[in-house]
Amino acid sequence: MAEELRRVQLPLTPELARTLHMGDNVLLTGTIYTARDAAHERMTENLAKGIPLPFDPMNATIYYVGPTPAEPGKVIGSAGPTTAGRMDKWAPEMISLGARGMIGKGARQPSVVDAMKKYSGVYFGAIGGAGALLAKHIKKCKLIAYEDLGPEAIRELYVEDFPVTVIIDSEGNDLYKSGRAEYLKLHEENQKA
Amino acid sequence: MRDIDVSVITDAIEKMCINANRHLPQDMQAGIKACRACEDGPIACTILDQIIDNFQTADKENVPICQDTGMACIFLEVGQEVHFTGGALYDAVNEGVRRGYTKGYLRKSVEADPIRRGNTGDNTPAMITVDIVPGDKVKITVAPKGFGSENMSALRMFKPSAGLQGIKDFILETVEKAGPNPCPPIVVGVGIGGNFDHVALAAKKALLRPIDSHNPDPYYAALEDEMLEKINELGIGPQGFGGRTTAVGVNIETLPTHIAGMPCAVNISCHVTRHETEVI
Ligand code: SF4
């Protein structure tokens, strides 16, 4: 199951989202946006004041990342995912606006999963801590908003064959729950054999 | 008395901040590879291969292993014969961190105020721990620490009656609760004893010890092995997708404690457990 890589071209339409299933290893190509805690807080505060998001949320994918600064001549520094759970407070609102793709690491709250089921969201996991490797798949990087937030500013990235795993799919299946249970079963069988 | 100009400390720390963030220590590299060799989960094998590829890429291309280049935890063992000249020691340490994080293109992740926030822009101040020891040398250890794993750490003030079983359960419970968040495979630093503040520091110092080493007391060395085995029976696996390799090491440090207590701190670290040491 680990070697079957599927190429996925973004944006993430609801139809496309529904074809992605928990445990799928996929390679993403297309435009994604970076946002962490501070950017989410500002985006949602602005929305409440009637100020639109710095990017079109419809079918967008948000990457929870705060990269290291780019060295001269490089597109970006190391850029692995941050813990997604810290964004749970704002994620349902973003998903309801159409930003159905999320890339991060770690567990999500039921409120996020509910929104994903309702709006066909997908939560992708990128390997936490593999910032050097993941940066190689980021081909373009443009700062588009909140420059004052430093590593937390919003960047528009163009990624090519960016490796991710579907952790939670649009039906709410969760790899963190099933993956572990499946492994323990397999391990038990291996022990007996 | 030996005079040491603090600029020597600044220079050393600048260099160590950069190196520690780019080159994973040998004990970690070997530990992760050894875990890959005995991993039996299919997804887990793929993930471990990518984790190995990642630290090798960082090594080769001289780039940060992980984008969370952490808070700079700086440990100084200062010989009591040493006399620092040329400025304040703490300023010199922070200057080293400032230069290292700027020149090394490392992420600045420090907020000036815990509630009102606001990035300091240069990753200072460092988290500095100084121990005074005999001699005329200064041993510097730089250990950048990410917060994905720091946030999953825990401290509990046990009654002595909780006994060894209480400690074992607490370690397992903390790892279980952490689940996929601290970027498993993890390293678990455990402090037992002392008081509220010293037990946390003991857990942090446990993470500085190479994972292929053991506590010198055979009782705790055996506990390290037992806990590593129990943690790897949880099945959390690399990235929490299921697998044998949940932890690559468990290090335990202990301290004498009060008749009424048995504090325990569990400091969780990730597969990017960084530390670099130099003696001046
Ligand atoms: S927990 Fe470690 S590996 Fe994960 S993002 Fe933080 S520093 Fe990197």
pLDDT tens digits, A135-148? 999 999 999 999 99
What is the rounded distance in angstroms from the CA atom of residue B83 to the CA atom of residue B81?
7
pLDDT tens digits, A44-67? 999 999 999 999 999 999 999 999
- Nearest atom in ligand 1 to the alpha carbon of residue B147 is 6
| Contacts of A39 by beta carbon, 8 Å cutoff, 6+ apart | A145, A146, A149, A152, A153, A154
Pocket test of ligand 1: the residue of A83, A86, A103, A133 to mutate, having most ligand atoms within 8 Å of its CB, is: A83
Contact A82 B236 (CB under 8 A): no
What is the rounded distance in angstroms from the CA atom of residue A145 to the CA atom of residue A123?
24
Q: CA Rg, chain A, in Å?
A: 17
Q: What residue numbers bound the domain in which A151 lies?
A: 5-192
Cα-Cα-Cα-Cα dihedral sign, residues B91, B97, B100, B103: negative
Distance from CA of B64 to the nearest CA of A (A): 6
CA neighbours within 13 Å on the CB side: how many for A7? 6
**How far does the centroid of ligand 1 lie from the alpha carbon of residue B192, in Å?**
25
**If pLDDT is split at 50, 70 and 90, which confidence band does A192 have?**
confident
**How far does the centroid of ligand 1 lie from the alpha carbon of residue B152, in Å?**
12
Looking at the DSSP bridge assignments, the partners of residue A5 are A25
**How far does the centroid of ligand 1 lie from the alpha carbon of residue A61, in Å?**
22
pLDDT tens digits, B130-181? 999 999 999 999 999 999 999 999 999 999 999 999 999 999 999 999 999 9
> Quick one: three-class SS letters along chain A?
CCCCEEEEECCCCHHHHCCCCCCCEEEEEEEEEECCHHHHHHHHHHHHCCCCCCCCCCCCEEECCCCCCCCCCCCCCCCCCCEHHHHCCCHHHHHHCCCCEEEEECCCCHHHHHHHHHHCCEEEECCCCCHHHHHCCEEEEEEEECHHHHHHCEEEEEEEEEEEEEEECCCCCEHHHHHHHHHHHHHHHHHHC
**How far does the centroid of ligand 1 lie from the alpha carbon of residue B82, in Å?**
36
Cβ atoms B98, B123 nearer than 8 A:
yes
C-alpha separations of B138 from B78, B109, B278 in Å:
5, 27, 8
Structure tokens at A93: 């609102």
- A138 vs B contacts (CB less than 8 Å): none
Distance from CA of B69 to the nearest CA of A (A): 8
| Contacts of B189 by beta carbon, 8 Å cutoff, 6+ apart | B203, B204, B205, B206, B207, B251, B253, B266, B267, B268, B269
Write down the pLDDT at residue A1. Answer: 42
Cβ atoms A159, A28 nearer than 8 A:
yes
Spans of chain B, pLDDT less than 50: none
What is the rounded distance in angstroms from the CA atom of residue B142 to the CA atom of residue A31?
37
Contact B271 A190 (CB under 8 A): no
What is the rounded distance in angstroms from the CA atom of residue A182 to the CA atom of residue A60?
32
Mean pLDDT on A158-175: 97
Cα Dmax for chain B: 59
Write down the pLDDT at residue B71. Answer: 98
- Nearest atom in ligand 1 to the alpha carbon of residue A129 is 3
- B244 vs A contacts (CB less than 8 Å): 183, 187
pLDDT tens digits, B227-256? 999 999 999 999 999 999 999 999 999 999
Contact B107 A82 (CB under 8 A): no
The domain ranges of chain B are 2-20+65-145, 148-278
Distance from CA of A66 to the nearest CA of B (A): 7
**If pLDDT is split at 50, 70 and 90, which confidence band does A3 have?**
low
Please say if the pLDDT value at position A168 is more than 90: yes
Counted domains in chain A: 1
Please say if the pLDDT value at position A80 is more than 80: yes
For residue A79, give the nearest of A24, A141, A27 by alpha carbon: A141
Residue ranges lining ligand 1, Cβ < 6 Å: A 80, 128-129; B 66, 68, 70, 146, 148-149, 182-183, 270-272
Q: Mutate which of A83, A123, A162 to disrupt the B interface (most B C-beta within 10 Å)? A: A83
| Contacts of B156 by beta carbon, 8 Å cutoff, 6+ apart | B170, B263, B264, B265
CATH number where A146 lies? 3.20.130.10
Write down the pLDDT at residue B67. Answer: 95
| Cα–chain center distance at A31 | 12
Contact B107 A67 (CB under 8 A): yes
What is the rounded distance in angstroms from the CA atom of residue A138 to the CA atom of residue A117?
29
Side-by-side strand order, sheet with B127-133: B127-133, B71-79, B138-145, B276-279
C-alpha separations of A137 from A59, A163, B34, B64, B104 in Å:
21, 8, 28, 16, 22
Mean pLDDT on A100-125: 97
Cβ atoms B1, B81 nearer than 8 A:
yes
What's the N-to-C CA distance of chain A in angstroms?
21
Contact A66 B109 (CB under 8 A): yes
